[in-house]
Amino acid sequence: MRGHKVEYVFPNFLIGLREGLEATLVVSILIAFLVRSGRTNRL
């Protein structure tokens, strides 16, 4: 029974990692936009 749970750990880890990278990308794009447009006071 325990082996069934282990099978789901790695795919779930990859999904979490992907979602974290996507969130980082979105935040980075927003920061870059604010810096380039001269709105650093909004950071």
Q: pLDDT tens digits for 10-19?
A: 999 999 999 9
Which domain, by its residues, includes 33?
2-42
DSSP summary character for residue 7: H
Total structural domains within the chain: 1
In this prediction, residue 18 carries a pLDDT of 98
DSSP summary character for residue 31: H
**What does the radius of gyration of the chain's CA atoms come to, in whole angstroms?**
18
Check pLDDT > 90 for residue 2.
no
Check pLDDT > 70 for residue 4.
no
Residue 12 to residue 36: CA distance in whole angstroms: 36
Report, as an integer, the average pLDDT of 24-37.
97
**What are the structure tokens assigned to 11, written together?**
């795919």
Residue 29 to residue 43: CA distance in whole angstroms: 13
Query: If you search the block for the tokens 């909004």, which residue do you land on?
Result: 42
